[in-house]
Chain A
Amino acid sequence: MSKTDQLVQKLVRKHGKTRNSLMAVLQGVVQEERYLSEDAMIAVARELDLSAADVYGTASFYTFLDTIPRGKNIIRICKTITCHMKGKDEVLLALENMLKIKAGETTHDKMFTLLTVNCLGWCHKGPVMLVNDEVYTELTPQKAIEVIEEYSRK
Chain B
Amino acid sequence: MDKQIKKVDIIFQMDEDCNLLDILDKALAQPADDIILDLIDSGLKGRGGAGFLTGLKWKFTKNEDSDVKYVICNADEGEPGTFKDREILDKVPEKVFIGMAICGYVVGAKEGYIYIRGEYNFLVKGLQKKLDNFNKHLKDRNLDFQIAIRSGSGAYVCGEESALFESMEGYRGEPRNKPPYPTVAGYNKKPTVINNVETLVYVTMISRLGVQKFKELGTKDSRGSKVFSVSGDTPIPGIYELELGMPLNQFVDEFADGDAKAVQVGGASGHCVPRKKFNDTIIGFEGIPTGGSMMIFNSTRSMYNVLHDYLEFFTEESCGQCTPCRVGCQQLLKGIEAVKRGEKPPSYLDDLKKLTTTMRIAAKCGLGQSVGNPFNSIVDNFREEIIY
Report which A residues bind B (CB closer than 8 A): 18-24, 26-27, 57-58, 61-65, 80-82, 84-85, 117-126, 130, 133-135
Contacting residues, chain A, for B173 (C-beta < 8 A): 61-62
The answer to whether A118 and B156 touch (CB under 8 A), given A23-B167, A61-B172, is yes
What's the Cα separation between A101 and B308 when bound, in Å?
25
For residue B168, CB closer than 8 A to chain A, the reply is: yes
Interchain CB contact under 8 A, A57 and B77: no
B122 CB contact (under 8 Å) in A58, A117, A125, A134: A134
Least distance between A13 CB and chain B CB atoms (Å): 17
Report which B residues bind A (CB closer than 8 A): 77-83, 86, 117-122, 150-156, 167-174, 188, 229-233, 237-239, 293, 295, 301, 305-306, 309-310, 313, 316-317, 319
A123 CB contact (under 8 Å) in B80, B122, B152, B170: B80
Contacting residues, chain B, for A65 (C-beta < 8 A): 153-154
The answer to whether A124 and B309 touch (CB under 8 A), given A19-B169, A23-B167, A85-B301, is no
Least distance between A122 CB and chain B CB atoms (Å): 6
Given A23-B168, A80-B80, A82-B81, output 10 extra A-B contacts at Cβ < 8 Å: A23-B150, A57-B172, A61-B155, A61-B319, A63-B154, A81-B80, A85-B301, A121-B120, A123-B82, A124-B83
Instruction: Give me 20 A-to-B residue pairs in the complex whose CB atoms sit less than 8 angstroms apart, sorted by A's number.
Output: A21-B170, A22-B170, A27-B118, A27-B153, A62-B153, A62-B155, A63-B153, A64-B152, A80-B313, A81-B232, A82-B232, A85-B232, A119-B78, A119-B79, A119-B80, A119-B313, A120-B119, A123-B229, A123-B295, A133-B122
Contacting residues, chain B, for A58 (C-beta < 8 A): 170-172
Interchain CB contact under 8 A, B81 and A119: yes
Contacting residues, chain A, for B317 (C-beta < 8 A): 118
Interchain CB contact under 8 A, B154 and A123: no
Measured CB to CB, the nearest residue on chain B to A124 is B237
B316 CB contact (under 8 Å) in A61, A62, A118, A134: A118
What's the Cα separation between A23 and B78 when bound, in Å?
18
A20 CB contact (under 8 Å) in B86, B169, B230: B169
A23 CB contact (under 8 Å) in B80, B170, B301: B170
